[in-house]
Amino acid sequence: MSSKDQSHSQDKASSKQQLPKPTVENLDFAARQPAPSADLVQLARSDPGSLNPGQVLQLQEVIGNLAVQRLLDERTEESRATSGKNTSIKSLDGFVVQRRDLHQGAAVPDTAGQEAITGAMNPRAEVSSAGTVTVRTWGGRIGGAGPPSPAQQRVRTQTFRALHNAIRGELNQNLTWIRPMARSYTTDRVSPADLEGAGNAAAGVVRSHVGSYIRNSVGGVARSRHGFRAGANLLDAYDPADRATAGEPISAEAVVWWALMNSPTAAVRSRFAFDPSDTEEEDWLENDAIPGIIGSRRSDFELWDRFGFAMVGRLGNRTLATTMPPTGASTTAPQGGGLSPAQRGARWSAFAELMHEYFHLVEHPSHERARNNSDIGSALNEGVTDILTEDTYNNTVNNVRRDATIIGQVEGSPPGPGTVIPTSLLPANYQIAYPDEVADVRSALGSVNLDGFKAAYLMGHVEYVGLTPGGSTRPSVAEGTGQGLDIPSGVTNLADLSRASGQSEANIRGANPQVNSWTPLPRRLNVPGWREHIVVASPRGTAETIGQIARQHDVSVADLHFHNNHLSGWPNLTAGMKVLIPPRGFRP
Protein backbone atom coordinates (compact mmCIF):
# COMPACT_ATOMS: atom_id res chain seq x y z
CA MET A 1 0.00 0.00 0.00
CA SER A 2 1.21 3.50 -0.67
CA SER A 3 1.58 6.37 1.73
CA LYS A 4 -0.69 9.35 1.45
CA ASP A 5 0.74 12.82 1.80
CA GLN A 6 -2.06 15.25 1.06
CA SER A 7 -4.82 14.95 3.65
CA HIS A 8 -3.79 15.14 7.31
CA SER A 9 -5.96 12.23 8.36
CA GLN A 10 -4.97 10.17 5.33
CA ASP A 11 -1.32 10.76 6.16
CA LYS A 12 -1.93 9.33 9.62
CA ALA A 13 -3.71 6.34 8.13
CA SER A 14 -0.79 5.30 5.87
CA SER A 15 -1.94 2.85 3.20
CA LYS A 16 -1.37 -0.58 4.59
CA GLN A 17 -2.00 -3.90 2.86
CA GLN A 18 -3.83 -5.93 5.51
CA LEU A 19 -2.63 -9.49 5.59
CA PRO A 20 -4.96 -12.49 5.63
CA LYS A 21 -4.73 -15.01 8.40
CA PRO A 22 -1.85 -17.40 7.55
CA THR A 23 -2.72 -21.02 6.91
CA VAL A 24 -0.76 -24.23 6.80
CA GLU A 25 -0.32 -25.29 3.19
CA ASN A 26 0.98 -28.32 1.32
CA LEU A 27 4.55 -27.24 0.60
CA ASP A 28 5.80 -30.19 -1.48
CA PHE A 29 9.12 -29.73 -3.22
CA ALA A 30 10.01 -29.92 -6.89
CA ALA A 31 13.27 -31.03 -8.45
CA ARG A 32 15.63 -28.64 -10.23
CA GLN A 33 16.80 -28.18 -13.80
CA PRO A 34 19.36 -25.90 -15.47
CA ALA A 35 18.17 -22.54 -16.84
CA PRO A 36 17.48 -22.47 -20.60
CA SER A 37 20.26 -21.03 -22.81
CA ALA A 38 18.59 -19.75 -26.03
CA ASP A 39 19.73 -16.71 -28.00
CA LEU A 40 16.84 -14.64 -26.74
CA VAL A 41 17.91 -11.39 -28.39
CA GLN A 42 17.90 -13.04 -31.81
CA LEU A 43 14.58 -14.71 -31.05
CA ALA A 44 13.06 -11.36 -29.99
CA ARG A 45 14.23 -9.82 -33.26
CA SER A 46 13.01 -12.61 -35.49
CA ASP A 47 9.85 -13.84 -33.79
CA PRO A 48 8.95 -11.82 -30.66
CA GLY A 49 5.47 -13.30 -30.50
CA SER A 50 6.98 -16.68 -29.61
CA LEU A 51 8.62 -15.41 -26.42
CA ASN A 52 7.17 -16.84 -23.23
CA PRO A 53 6.90 -14.74 -20.05
CA GLY A 54 10.04 -16.17 -18.51
CA GLN A 55 12.07 -15.33 -21.61
CA VAL A 56 10.77 -11.76 -21.57
CA LEU A 57 11.72 -11.49 -17.89
CA GLN A 58 15.17 -12.94 -18.61
CA LEU A 59 15.70 -10.42 -21.40
CA GLN A 60 14.70 -7.61 -19.06
CA GLU A 61 17.23 -8.78 -16.51
CA VAL A 62 20.08 -9.17 -19.01
CA ILE A 63 19.70 -6.13 -21.28
CA GLY A 64 17.28 -3.97 -19.29
CA ASN A 65 13.62 -3.05 -19.61
CA LEU A 66 14.20 -0.13 -21.94
CA ALA A 67 16.34 -2.15 -24.31
CA VAL A 68 13.71 -4.88 -24.46
CA GLN A 69 11.01 -2.29 -25.12
CA ARG A 70 13.05 -0.71 -27.95
CA LEU A 71 13.72 -4.13 -29.44
CA LEU A 72 10.04 -5.05 -29.46
CA ASP A 73 8.99 -1.60 -30.65
CA GLU A 74 11.42 -1.77 -33.58
CA ARG A 75 9.92 -5.09 -34.65
CA THR A 76 6.39 -3.72 -34.28
CA GLU A 77 7.13 -0.67 -36.45
CA GLU A 78 8.79 -2.92 -39.03
CA SER A 79 5.72 -5.17 -39.19
CA ARG A 80 3.33 -2.26 -39.47
CA ALA A 81 5.40 -0.59 -42.17
CA THR A 82 5.43 -3.70 -44.33
CA SER A 83 1.86 -4.84 -43.78
CA GLY A 84 0.04 -1.55 -43.31
CA LYS A 85 -2.01 -3.28 -40.60
CA ASN A 86 -2.30 -2.75 -36.88
CA THR A 87 0.10 -5.55 -35.90
CA SER A 88 0.55 -6.16 -32.19
CA ILE A 89 3.43 -8.14 -30.77
CA LYS A 90 1.71 -10.40 -28.31
CA SER A 91 2.48 -13.90 -27.15
CA LEU A 92 -0.36 -16.32 -26.49
CA ASP A 93 0.09 -15.83 -22.74
CA GLY A 94 -0.38 -12.07 -23.06
CA PHE A 95 2.86 -11.16 -21.29
CA VAL A 96 4.64 -9.31 -24.08
CA VAL A 97 4.17 -5.55 -24.30
CA GLN A 98 1.89 -4.90 -27.23
CA ARG A 99 0.70 -2.08 -29.46
CA ARG A 100 -3.02 -1.49 -29.08
CA ASP A 101 -5.58 1.21 -28.31
CA LEU A 102 -5.11 1.62 -24.57
CA HIS A 103 -8.23 3.78 -24.20
CA GLN A 104 -10.55 1.59 -26.26
CA GLY A 105 -12.74 0.42 -23.39
CA ALA A 106 -12.49 3.56 -21.27
CA ALA A 107 -15.21 6.21 -21.11
CA VAL A 108 -15.69 9.41 -19.14
CA PRO A 109 -18.69 8.82 -16.84
CA ASP A 110 -21.89 10.63 -17.74
CA THR A 111 -24.32 11.95 -15.10
CA ALA A 112 -25.62 8.50 -14.16
CA GLY A 113 -22.12 7.07 -14.00
CA GLN A 114 -20.85 10.00 -11.96
CA GLU A 115 -23.65 9.56 -9.44
CA ALA A 116 -23.00 5.84 -9.23
CA ILE A 117 -19.34 6.47 -8.42
CA THR A 118 -20.15 9.06 -5.77
CA GLY A 119 -22.88 6.98 -4.20
CA ALA A 120 -20.80 3.80 -4.13
CA MET A 121 -17.64 5.29 -2.68
CA ASN A 122 -18.60 8.27 -0.52
CA PRO A 123 -19.52 7.23 3.04
CA ARG A 124 -21.68 10.34 3.42
CA ALA A 125 -23.62 9.80 0.19
CA GLU A 126 -27.15 8.51 0.05
CA VAL A 127 -28.54 7.34 -3.28
CA SER A 128 -32.29 7.51 -3.86
CA SER A 129 -34.26 4.93 -5.85
CA ALA A 130 -34.15 7.40 -8.74
CA GLY A 131 -30.35 7.46 -8.59
CA THR A 132 -30.04 10.97 -7.14
CA VAL A 133 -27.11 11.40 -4.75
CA THR A 134 -27.50 13.42 -1.56
CA VAL A 135 -24.42 14.06 0.56
CA ARG A 136 -25.41 13.81 4.22
CA THR A 137 -23.79 15.54 7.20
CA TRP A 138 -22.61 13.82 10.38
CA GLY A 139 -25.07 14.57 13.16
CA GLY A 140 -22.27 15.17 15.66
CA ARG A 141 -20.86 18.11 13.75
CA ILE A 142 -21.05 21.44 15.58
CA GLY A 143 -20.10 23.63 12.64
CA GLY A 144 -18.69 26.41 14.78
CA ALA A 145 -17.49 27.41 18.22
CA GLY A 146 -19.01 26.15 21.43
CA PRO A 147 -19.84 22.76 22.96
CA PRO A 148 -22.08 20.29 21.16
CA SER A 149 -25.80 20.35 21.79
CA PRO A 150 -27.34 17.39 23.64
CA ALA A 151 -28.48 15.93 20.30
CA GLN A 152 -25.04 16.36 18.77
CA GLN A 153 -23.42 14.82 21.84
CA ARG A 154 -25.71 11.79 21.58
CA VAL A 155 -24.60 11.25 17.99
CA ARG A 156 -20.97 11.60 19.04
CA THR A 157 -21.42 9.04 21.78
CA GLN A 158 -23.19 6.63 19.45
CA THR A 159 -20.51 7.10 16.78
CA PHE A 160 -17.72 6.51 19.30
CA ARG A 161 -19.29 3.32 20.60
CA ALA A 162 -19.82 1.96 17.09
CA LEU A 163 -16.25 2.81 16.01
CA HIS A 164 -14.85 1.44 19.29
CA ASN A 165 -16.68 -1.87 18.88
CA ALA A 166 -15.80 -2.25 15.18
CA ILE A 167 -12.10 -1.51 15.65
CA ARG A 168 -11.72 -3.50 18.87
CA GLY A 169 -13.51 -6.40 17.19
CA GLU A 170 -11.09 -6.28 14.27
CA LEU A 171 -8.18 -6.10 16.71
CA ASN A 172 -9.32 -9.14 18.68
CA GLN A 173 -9.87 -11.17 15.53
CA ASN A 174 -6.41 -10.39 14.20
CA LEU A 175 -4.65 -11.05 17.50
CA THR A 176 -5.66 -14.73 17.33
CA TRP A 177 -3.01 -15.27 14.64
CA ILE A 178 -0.73 -12.28 15.29
CA ARG A 179 0.27 -13.34 18.82
CA PRO A 180 1.61 -16.76 17.75
CA MET A 181 3.43 -15.07 14.87
CA ALA A 182 5.03 -12.56 17.22
CA ARG A 183 6.25 -15.34 19.52
CA SER A 184 7.96 -17.21 16.67
CA TYR A 185 9.27 -14.18 14.78
CA THR A 186 12.85 -14.38 16.05
CA THR A 187 13.31 -18.04 15.14
CA ASP A 188 11.19 -18.31 11.96
CA ARG A 189 11.81 -14.96 10.27
CA VAL A 190 12.75 -14.96 6.57
CA SER A 191 15.28 -12.35 5.46
CA PRO A 192 14.17 -9.67 2.95
CA ALA A 193 17.12 -10.84 0.85
CA ASP A 194 15.32 -14.17 0.42
CA LEU A 195 12.27 -12.34 -0.95
CA GLU A 196 14.10 -10.12 -3.42
CA GLY A 197 13.74 -12.59 -6.27
CA ALA A 198 10.01 -13.00 -5.63
CA GLY A 199 9.53 -9.24 -5.65
CA ASN A 200 11.42 -8.72 -8.88
CA ALA A 201 9.63 -11.63 -10.54
CA ALA A 202 6.29 -10.06 -9.55
CA ALA A 203 7.43 -6.68 -10.85
CA GLY A 204 8.46 -8.26 -14.15
CA VAL A 205 5.06 -9.90 -14.56
CA VAL A 206 3.31 -6.57 -13.88
CA ARG A 207 5.54 -4.76 -16.38
CA SER A 208 4.79 -7.39 -18.98
CA HIS A 209 1.03 -7.34 -18.36
CA VAL A 210 0.42 -3.57 -18.18
CA GLY A 211 3.75 -2.21 -19.40
CA SER A 212 2.18 -0.44 -22.37
CA TYR A 213 0.14 1.74 -20.02
CA ILE A 214 3.11 2.60 -17.85
CA ARG A 215 5.68 3.30 -20.55
CA ASN A 216 3.38 5.41 -22.73
CA SER A 217 2.51 7.78 -19.89
CA VAL A 218 4.28 10.92 -18.64
CA GLY A 219 7.18 9.75 -16.48
CA GLY A 220 6.32 6.13 -17.15
CA VAL A 221 9.81 5.06 -18.24
CA ALA A 222 11.25 6.19 -14.92
CA ARG A 223 8.47 4.51 -12.96
CA SER A 224 8.90 1.24 -14.84
CA ARG A 225 12.50 0.99 -13.57
CA HIS A 226 11.32 0.33 -10.02
CA GLY A 227 12.58 -2.95 -8.65
CA PHE A 228 13.28 -4.50 -5.27
CA ARG A 229 16.66 -4.61 -3.54
CA ALA A 230 16.95 -5.98 -0.01
CA GLY A 231 18.40 -3.54 2.49
CA ALA A 232 17.76 -0.60 0.15
CA ASN A 233 14.10 -0.45 -0.81
CA LEU A 234 12.93 -3.91 0.34
CA LEU A 235 12.75 -4.07 4.13
CA ASP A 236 11.17 -6.17 6.90
CA ALA A 237 7.65 -5.00 7.79
CA TYR A 238 7.99 -6.61 11.22
CA ASP A 239 11.33 -5.04 12.18
CA PRO A 240 10.82 -1.82 14.19
CA ALA A 241 14.12 -0.40 12.90
CA ASP A 242 13.17 -1.06 9.26
CA ARG A 243 9.76 0.45 9.88
CA ALA A 244 11.35 3.64 11.21
CA THR A 245 13.76 3.76 8.27
CA ALA A 246 10.81 3.63 5.86
CA GLY A 247 8.97 6.39 7.73
CA GLU A 248 6.40 3.98 9.20
CA PRO A 249 7.26 3.64 12.92
CA ILE A 250 5.17 1.22 14.97
CA SER A 251 2.19 3.19 16.23
CA ALA A 252 -1.12 2.37 17.89
CA GLU A 253 -2.58 5.61 16.54
CA ALA A 254 -1.49 4.75 12.98
CA VAL A 255 -3.31 1.43 12.94
CA VAL A 256 -6.47 2.99 14.39
CA TRP A 257 -6.34 5.67 11.69
CA TRP A 258 -5.95 2.92 9.11
CA ALA A 259 -9.05 1.16 10.48
CA LEU A 260 -10.96 4.45 10.44
CA MET A 261 -10.21 4.97 6.75
CA ASN A 262 -10.69 1.40 5.55
CA SER A 263 -12.95 -1.65 5.65
CA PRO A 264 -13.18 -2.32 9.42
CA THR A 265 -15.29 0.82 9.91
CA ALA A 266 -16.99 1.09 6.50
CA ALA A 267 -20.44 0.17 7.81
CA VAL A 268 -20.17 2.59 10.73
CA ARG A 269 -19.05 5.46 8.52
CA SER A 270 -21.95 4.85 6.15
CA ARG A 271 -24.49 4.55 8.98
CA PHE A 272 -23.51 7.85 10.61
CA ALA A 273 -22.50 9.73 7.43
CA PHE A 274 -19.10 10.04 9.06
CA ASP A 275 -16.04 11.08 7.03
CA PRO A 276 -12.80 10.92 9.06
CA SER A 277 -11.06 13.24 6.58
CA ASP A 278 -13.37 16.18 7.27
CA THR A 279 -11.75 18.76 9.53
CA GLU A 280 -14.16 18.71 12.47
CA GLU A 281 -14.48 14.93 12.45
CA GLU A 282 -10.71 14.59 12.27
CA ASP A 283 -10.21 16.89 15.27
CA TRP A 284 -12.80 14.96 17.28
CA LEU A 285 -11.13 11.67 16.44
CA GLU A 286 -7.66 12.88 17.33
CA ASN A 287 -8.58 14.57 20.61
CA ASP A 288 -11.41 12.40 21.92
CA ALA A 289 -12.26 9.20 20.06
CA ILE A 290 -8.88 7.63 19.24
CA PRO A 291 -7.47 7.89 22.78
CA GLY A 292 -10.64 6.19 24.03
CA ILE A 293 -10.48 3.45 21.38
CA ILE A 294 -6.87 2.65 22.27
CA GLY A 295 -7.40 2.94 26.03
CA SER A 296 -5.45 0.35 28.00
CA ARG A 297 -4.72 -1.78 24.94
CA ARG A 298 -1.92 0.25 23.40
CA SER A 299 0.46 -2.70 23.33
CA ASP A 300 -2.12 -4.82 21.49
CA PHE A 301 -2.69 -2.14 18.87
CA GLU A 302 1.08 -1.78 18.42
CA LEU A 303 1.33 -5.55 17.95
CA TRP A 304 -1.38 -5.35 15.27
CA ASP A 305 0.40 -2.48 13.56
CA ARG A 306 3.70 -4.36 13.61
CA PHE A 307 2.58 -7.78 12.38
CA GLY A 308 -0.63 -7.06 10.47
CA PHE A 309 0.50 -5.30 7.31
CA ALA A 310 2.77 -4.95 4.32
CA MET A 311 3.20 -1.45 2.92
CA VAL A 312 5.15 1.05 0.87
CA GLY A 313 6.75 3.47 3.32
CA ARG A 314 6.65 7.24 3.21
CA LEU A 315 10.40 7.65 2.76
CA GLY A 316 12.08 6.78 -0.52
CA ASN A 317 9.45 4.32 -1.82
CA ARG A 318 10.76 1.63 0.52
CA THR A 319 8.60 -1.49 0.49
CA LEU A 320 8.04 -3.23 3.81
CA ALA A 321 7.43 -6.91 3.09
CA THR A 322 6.08 -9.56 5.42
CA THR A 323 8.85 -11.95 6.44
CA MET A 324 7.04 -14.79 8.20
CA PRO A 325 6.26 -18.14 6.58
CA PRO A 326 2.80 -19.74 6.68
CA THR A 327 1.84 -20.77 10.20
CA GLY A 328 2.90 -24.33 10.98
CA ALA A 329 5.16 -24.74 7.94
CA SER A 330 8.28 -26.78 8.66
CA THR A 331 11.57 -24.91 8.80
CA THR A 332 13.53 -28.10 8.08
CA ALA A 333 15.08 -28.42 4.62
CA PRO A 334 14.40 -31.66 2.70
CA GLN A 335 17.04 -34.40 2.73
CA GLY A 336 18.08 -33.67 -0.83
CA GLY A 337 18.77 -30.05 0.00
CA GLY A 338 17.01 -26.88 -1.03
CA LEU A 339 14.43 -24.65 0.57
CA SER A 340 12.46 -25.64 3.63
CA PRO A 341 8.66 -25.63 3.25
CA ALA A 342 8.59 -22.46 5.36
CA GLN A 343 11.09 -20.68 3.11
CA ARG A 344 9.33 -21.77 -0.03
CA GLY A 345 5.92 -20.75 1.29
CA ALA A 346 7.22 -17.34 2.34
CA ARG A 347 8.68 -16.66 -1.10
CA TRP A 348 5.51 -17.50 -3.02
CA SER A 349 3.39 -15.53 -0.58
CA ALA A 350 5.72 -12.60 -1.19
CA PHE A 351 5.27 -12.97 -4.95
CA ALA A 352 1.54 -12.13 -4.71
CA GLU A 353 1.99 -9.56 -1.94
CA LEU A 354 4.77 -7.67 -3.73
CA MET A 355 2.78 -7.69 -6.97
CA HIS A 356 0.20 -5.55 -5.12
CA GLU A 357 2.95 -3.33 -3.67
CA TYR A 358 4.62 -2.91 -7.06
CA PHE A 359 1.39 -1.48 -8.45
CA HIS A 360 1.61 1.19 -5.76
CA LEU A 361 5.14 2.00 -6.93
CA VAL A 362 4.03 2.55 -10.54
CA GLU A 363 0.82 4.44 -9.76
CA HIS A 364 0.78 7.64 -11.80
CA PRO A 365 1.40 10.74 -9.65
CA SER A 366 -1.64 12.47 -11.15
CA HIS A 367 -3.88 9.63 -9.96
CA GLU A 368 -2.27 9.68 -6.53
CA ARG A 369 -2.74 13.44 -6.21
CA ALA A 370 -6.37 13.28 -7.34
CA ARG A 371 -7.35 10.44 -5.02
CA ASN A 372 -5.56 12.01 -2.05
CA ASN A 373 -7.67 15.14 -2.49
CA SER A 374 -10.95 13.36 -3.14
CA ASP A 375 -13.69 11.94 -0.95
CA ILE A 376 -13.25 8.52 -2.57
CA GLY A 377 -9.49 8.22 -2.03
CA SER A 378 -9.57 4.99 -0.01
CA ALA A 379 -11.49 3.07 -2.68
CA LEU A 380 -9.40 4.50 -5.50
CA ASN A 381 -6.23 3.63 -3.60
CA GLU A 382 -6.49 0.10 -2.26
CA GLY A 383 -9.63 -0.91 -4.12
CA VAL A 384 -8.27 -0.15 -7.58
CA THR A 385 -4.82 -1.48 -6.65
CA ASP A 386 -6.40 -4.79 -5.68
CA ILE A 387 -8.48 -4.89 -8.88
CA LEU A 388 -5.40 -4.32 -11.04
CA THR A 389 -3.42 -6.87 -9.02
CA GLU A 390 -6.23 -9.40 -9.37
CA ASP A 391 -6.41 -8.82 -13.14
CA THR A 392 -2.66 -9.29 -13.55
CA TYR A 393 -2.35 -12.25 -11.19
CA ASN A 394 -5.36 -14.19 -12.46
CA ASN A 395 -4.40 -13.71 -16.10
CA THR A 396 -0.79 -14.80 -15.62
CA VAL A 397 -0.75 -17.32 -12.77
CA ASN A 398 -1.16 -20.41 -14.96
CA ASN A 399 1.88 -19.39 -16.99
CA VAL A 400 3.89 -18.36 -13.93
CA ARG A 401 3.43 -21.69 -12.16
CA ARG A 402 5.06 -23.48 -15.15
CA ASP A 403 7.68 -20.90 -16.12
CA ALA A 404 11.17 -22.12 -15.25
CA THR A 405 12.77 -18.69 -15.27
CA ILE A 406 10.21 -17.13 -12.93
CA ILE A 407 10.23 -20.17 -10.63
CA GLY A 408 14.00 -20.03 -10.48
CA GLN A 409 13.93 -16.33 -9.69
CA VAL A 410 11.44 -16.78 -6.85
CA GLU A 411 13.05 -19.89 -5.36
CA GLY A 412 16.67 -18.93 -5.96
CA SER A 413 17.74 -21.81 -8.20
CA PRO A 414 16.51 -23.47 -11.42
CA PRO A 415 13.60 -25.89 -11.03
CA GLY A 416 13.55 -29.48 -12.22
CA PRO A 417 12.09 -30.60 -15.56
CA GLY A 418 8.33 -30.26 -15.75
CA THR A 419 8.05 -28.38 -12.45
CA VAL A 420 4.59 -26.94 -11.78
CA ILE A 421 4.06 -24.81 -8.68
CA PRO A 422 1.05 -26.25 -6.80
CA THR A 423 -2.01 -24.17 -5.98
CA SER A 424 -1.16 -24.56 -2.29
CA LEU A 425 1.78 -22.24 -2.93
CA LEU A 426 0.35 -20.19 -5.78
CA PRO A 427 -3.47 -20.16 -5.62
CA ALA A 428 -5.46 -20.12 -8.84
CA ASN A 429 -6.99 -16.76 -7.93
CA TYR A 430 -5.64 -13.68 -6.19
CA GLN A 431 -6.81 -13.28 -2.60
CA ILE A 432 -8.37 -9.82 -2.33
CA ALA A 433 -6.91 -7.84 0.59
CA TYR A 434 -9.49 -5.03 0.57
CA PRO A 435 -12.89 -6.60 -0.13
CA ASP A 436 -14.97 -3.59 0.94
CA GLU A 437 -12.95 -1.14 -1.14
CA VAL A 438 -13.03 -3.50 -4.12
CA ALA A 439 -16.80 -3.90 -3.72
CA ASP A 440 -17.18 -0.10 -3.72
CA VAL A 441 -15.16 0.18 -6.92
CA ARG A 442 -16.92 -2.69 -8.65
CA SER A 443 -20.34 -1.25 -7.85
CA ALA A 444 -19.41 1.56 -10.24
CA LEU A 445 -18.15 -0.69 -13.05
CA GLY A 446 -21.25 0.01 -15.09
CA SER A 447 -19.56 3.28 -16.04
CA VAL A 448 -15.91 2.62 -15.19
CA ASN A 449 -14.44 -0.61 -16.49
CA LEU A 450 -11.00 -2.18 -16.21
CA ASP A 451 -9.53 -0.20 -19.12
CA GLY A 452 -10.73 3.01 -17.49
CA PHE A 453 -9.10 2.15 -14.18
CA LYS A 454 -5.84 1.24 -15.91
CA ALA A 455 -5.82 4.52 -17.84
CA ALA A 456 -6.53 6.49 -14.65
CA TYR A 457 -4.24 4.62 -12.24
CA LEU A 458 -1.28 3.98 -14.55
CA MET A 459 -1.50 6.94 -16.97
CA GLY A 460 -3.07 9.66 -14.84
CA HIS A 461 -6.28 10.02 -16.88
CA VAL A 462 -8.47 10.52 -13.82
CA GLU A 463 -11.37 11.77 -15.93
CA TYR A 464 -12.19 8.08 -16.44
CA VAL A 465 -12.92 7.71 -12.71
CA GLY A 466 -14.98 10.89 -12.55
CA LEU A 467 -12.34 13.19 -11.02
CA THR A 468 -10.50 16.35 -11.98
CA PRO A 469 -6.69 16.41 -11.55
CA GLY A 470 -7.26 18.34 -8.33
CA GLY A 471 -9.43 15.57 -6.88
CA SER A 472 -12.83 17.22 -7.07
CA THR A 473 -15.77 15.54 -8.76
CA ARG A 474 -16.01 16.32 -12.44
CA PRO A 475 -18.98 18.45 -13.54
CA SER A 476 -21.90 16.32 -14.62
CA VAL A 477 -22.50 16.03 -18.34
CA ALA A 478 -25.69 15.14 -20.15
CA GLU A 479 -26.80 11.53 -20.18
CA GLY A 480 -25.00 9.61 -22.92
CA THR A 481 -22.39 12.30 -23.62
CA GLY A 482 -19.65 11.11 -21.29
CA GLN A 483 -17.47 10.02 -24.19
CA GLY A 484 -18.44 13.05 -26.27
CA LEU A 485 -16.15 15.69 -27.68
CA ASP A 486 -16.03 19.43 -28.21
CA ILE A 487 -16.93 20.21 -31.81
CA PRO A 488 -14.31 22.46 -33.48
CA SER A 489 -15.56 25.99 -34.14
CA GLY A 490 -15.23 25.60 -37.93
CA VAL A 491 -17.90 22.88 -37.95
CA THR A 492 -21.22 24.74 -37.82
CA ASN A 493 -23.93 22.30 -38.90
CA LEU A 494 -24.74 18.61 -39.02
CA ALA A 495 -23.76 18.27 -42.67
CA ASP A 496 -20.32 19.75 -41.94
CA LEU A 497 -19.89 17.37 -39.01
CA SER A 498 -20.90 14.41 -41.14
CA ARG A 499 -18.34 15.28 -43.83
CA ALA A 500 -15.57 16.00 -41.33
CA SER A 501 -16.13 12.84 -39.29
CA GLY A 502 -17.00 10.32 -41.99
CA GLN A 503 -20.18 9.43 -40.13
CA SER A 504 -23.64 9.70 -41.62
CA GLU A 505 -26.05 12.26 -40.21
CA ALA A 506 -28.28 9.39 -39.12
CA ASN A 507 -25.45 7.77 -37.15
CA ILE A 508 -24.63 11.05 -35.41
CA ARG A 509 -28.28 11.64 -34.54
CA GLY A 510 -28.57 8.10 -33.22
CA ALA A 511 -25.54 8.57 -30.98
CA ASN A 512 -27.04 11.69 -29.41
CA PRO A 513 -30.62 10.93 -28.37
CA GLN A 514 -30.45 13.72 -25.78
CA VAL A 515 -30.28 16.42 -28.50
CA ASN A 516 -33.67 17.97 -29.31
CA SER A 517 -32.48 20.65 -31.72
CA TRP A 518 -29.64 20.60 -34.24
CA THR A 519 -29.80 24.30 -35.10
CA PRO A 520 -27.47 25.64 -33.99
CA LEU A 521 -25.19 22.61 -33.81
CA PRO A 522 -24.53 21.64 -30.17
CA ARG A 523 -20.91 22.30 -29.26
CA ARG A 524 -20.44 18.93 -27.52
CA LEU A 525 -21.62 15.68 -29.09
CA ASN A 526 -20.98 11.99 -29.36
CA VAL A 527 -19.44 11.18 -32.73
CA PRO A 528 -19.18 7.42 -33.41
CA GLY A 529 -15.58 6.28 -33.74
CA TRP A 530 -14.17 9.54 -32.36
CA ARG A 531 -13.06 10.47 -28.88
CA GLU A 532 -11.42 13.24 -26.91
CA HIS A 533 -8.08 12.98 -25.15
CA ILE A 534 -7.49 15.25 -22.12
CA VAL A 535 -3.77 16.00 -21.81
CA VAL A 536 -2.11 14.91 -18.55
CA ALA A 537 1.00 16.50 -17.05
CA SER A 538 3.47 15.26 -14.45
CA PRO A 539 3.77 17.03 -11.07
CA ARG A 540 6.73 18.92 -12.56
CA GLY A 541 4.53 20.24 -15.35
CA THR A 542 5.83 18.04 -18.17
CA ALA A 543 2.87 17.24 -20.40
CA GLU A 544 2.19 14.24 -22.60
CA THR A 545 3.72 14.50 -26.05
CA ILE A 546 1.92 13.99 -29.34
CA GLY A 547 3.89 10.76 -29.75
CA GLN A 548 2.70 9.41 -26.41
CA ILE A 549 -0.88 10.35 -27.21
CA ALA A 550 -0.64 8.66 -30.60
CA ARG A 551 0.75 5.46 -29.06
CA GLN A 552 -1.91 5.42 -26.34
CA HIS A 553 -4.69 5.46 -28.95
CA ASP A 554 -2.81 3.48 -31.63
CA VAL A 555 -3.12 6.22 -34.26
CA SER A 556 -0.41 8.00 -36.22
CA VAL A 557 1.14 11.34 -35.32
CA ALA A 558 0.22 12.52 -38.81
CA ASP A 559 -3.45 11.74 -38.15
CA LEU A 560 -3.39 13.75 -34.94
CA HIS A 561 -1.82 16.72 -36.73
CA PHE A 562 -4.35 16.53 -39.56
CA HIS A 563 -7.46 16.47 -37.35
CA ASN A 564 -6.28 18.99 -34.75
CA ASN A 565 -5.31 21.98 -36.86
CA HIS A 566 -7.35 24.08 -34.42
CA LEU A 567 -4.58 23.48 -31.88
CA SER A 568 -1.41 25.52 -32.11
CA GLY A 569 2.03 24.62 -30.81
CA TRP A 570 2.11 20.86 -30.49
CA PRO A 571 5.42 21.01 -28.63
CA ASN A 572 3.68 23.12 -25.97
CA LEU A 573 0.80 20.90 -24.90
CA THR A 574 -0.39 21.64 -21.37
CA ALA A 575 -2.52 19.76 -18.87
CA GLY A 576 -6.22 19.94 -19.60
CA MET A 577 -5.95 20.57 -23.36
CA LYS A 578 -8.29 18.45 -25.46
CA VAL A 579 -7.02 16.52 -28.48
CA LEU A 580 -9.38 14.95 -31.04
CA ILE A 581 -8.67 11.26 -31.61
CA PRO A 582 -9.93 10.09 -35.04
CA PRO A 583 -10.60 6.55 -36.19
CA ARG A 584 -7.26 5.06 -37.17
CA GLY A 585 -6.14 6.23 -40.61
CA PHE A 586 -9.29 8.25 -41.34
CA ARG A 587 -9.06 11.21 -43.72
CA PRO A 588 -12.20 12.90 -45.10
State the SS3 of 30-47.
Answer: CCCCCCCCCCHHHHHHHC
Q: Give the SS3 label for residue 502.
A: coil
- Amino acid identity of residue 324, one-letter, is M
pLDDT under 50 in the chain at which residues? 1-12, 22-38, 49, 53, 62-67, 69-98, 479-482
Q: Output the pLDDT for position 149.
A: 94
Nearest alpha carbon to residue 500 among 510, 490, 509 = 490
High-pLDDT (> 70) share of the chain, %? 77
Are 392 and 206 in contact by the 8 Å Cβ rule? The answer is yes
Sign of CA dihedral 375, 378, 379, 380: positive
Q: Output the pLDDT for position 374.
A: 78
DSSP state of 531: E
Are 292 and 156 in contact by the 8 Å Cβ rule? The answer is no
Nearest alpha carbon to residue 329 among 495, 188, 506 = 188
Q: d(Cα 484, Cα 528) in Å, to the nearest integer? A: 9
Are 1 and 363 in contact by the 8 Å Cβ rule? The answer is no
Q: Output the pLDDT for position 215.
A: 87
Residues 6 or more apart whose Cβ sits within 8 Å of residue 580: 485, 488, 530, 532, 533, 560, 563, 564
Residues 6 or more apart whose Cβ sits within 8 Å of residue 163: 260, 265, 268, 289, 293
Are 140 and 159 in contact by the 8 Å Cβ rule? The answer is yes
Q: Give the SS3 label for residue 312.
A: strand
Q: Output the pLDDT for position 148.
A: 93
CA-CA distances (angstroms) from residue 299 to 104, 162, 294, 388, 407?
A: 51, 22, 9, 35, 39
Other beta carbons within 10 Å of 389? 25
Nearest alpha carbon to residue 234 among 347, 354, 348, 352 = 354
Q: d(Cα 330, Cα 117) in Å, to the nearest integer? A: 46
Are 156 and 280 in contact by the 8 Å Cβ rule? The answer is no
Q: What is the pLDDT of residues 376-386, one digit of tens each?
A: 777 788 899 99
Q: What is the pLDDT of residues 147-164, one digit of tens each?
A: 999 999 999 999 999 999
Are 473 and 462 in contact by the 8 Å Cβ rule? The answer is no
Q: d(Cα 465, Cα 444) in Å, to the nearest integer? A: 9
- Amino acid identity of residue 312, one-letter, is V
